[in-house]
């Protein structure tokens, strides 16, 4: 049976993710509440990389909120594409950092699945940075994150969270579809 903390964390985060796919600036405010609740939840089940990730999400949610409202010379930031060279380098860096952080957690804490948890962390950071800049490729990042996170959370008996992350995976496909459509309309 999921705890009330897990239920409320998922509820807020689910609403936030749906709002992101719909390209709504309200994603950031709702997401802040979900991040605080998830940080507390993940700490209680020894997923420390995910706690670190929630702290990152809190900071970037504030920055993303501002960026989406006034990101380009006081105007709302439009959807755009990321450059392939920079994106490739960012992916490589995410894997290297995940390996290093996973090793740190493995050797110095009682963390559960430190390397997978660290991959969820680093790929989430990358996807969040892309989301903050309204880059279409954010949705590919979230697809990867959710593919890793669903079995990780299920293995810690966070079945509700695993299910919600499965919904996030579906929502990432929806977000990719909507943002592609909006990007095509912007350039037309």
pTM assigned to the model: 0.86
What does the DSSP 8-state code read for residue 1? Answer: -
Residue 69 banded pLDDT, cuts 50, 70, 90: confident
- Alpha carbon 106 to chain centroid, angstroms: 23
Residue 74 banded pLDDT, cuts 50, 70, 90: low
Mean pLDDT lowest among 13-17, 63-67, 81-85, 137-141: 63-67
Q: What is the mean pLDDT of the chain?
A: 92
Hey, which residues does 135 pair with through a beta bridge? 80
**Count helices and strands in the chain by DSSP H and E runs:** 7, 0
What is the C-alpha separation between 48 and 146, in angstroms, rounded?
17
Angle between helices 4-21 and 159-187 (to 10 degrees): 10
């Amino acid at each position: 049976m999921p705890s009330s903390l897990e239920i409320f964390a998922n509820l807020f985060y689910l609403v936030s993710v749906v709002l992101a796919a719909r390209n709504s600036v309200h994603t950031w405010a709702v997401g802040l509440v979900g991040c605080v609740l998830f940080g507390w939840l993940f700490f209680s089940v020894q997923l420390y990389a995910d706690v670190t990730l929630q702290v990152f999400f809190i900071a970037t949610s504030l920055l993303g909120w501002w960026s989406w409202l006034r990101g380009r010379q006081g105007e709302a930031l439009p959807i755009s594409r990321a450059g392939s060279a920079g994106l490739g380098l960012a992916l490589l860096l995410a894997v290297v950092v995940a390996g290093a952080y996973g090793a740190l957690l493995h050797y110095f804490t009682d963390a559960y699945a430190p390397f997978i948890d660290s991959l969820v962390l680093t790929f989430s950071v990358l996807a969040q940075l892309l989301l903050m800049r309204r880059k279409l490729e954010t949705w590919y990042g979230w697809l990867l994150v959710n593919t890793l996170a669903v079995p990780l959370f299920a293995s810690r008996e966070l079945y509700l969270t695993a299910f919600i992350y499965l919904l996030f995976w579906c929502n990432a496909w929806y977000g990719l579809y909507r943002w592609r459509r909006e990007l095509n309309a912007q350039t037309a």
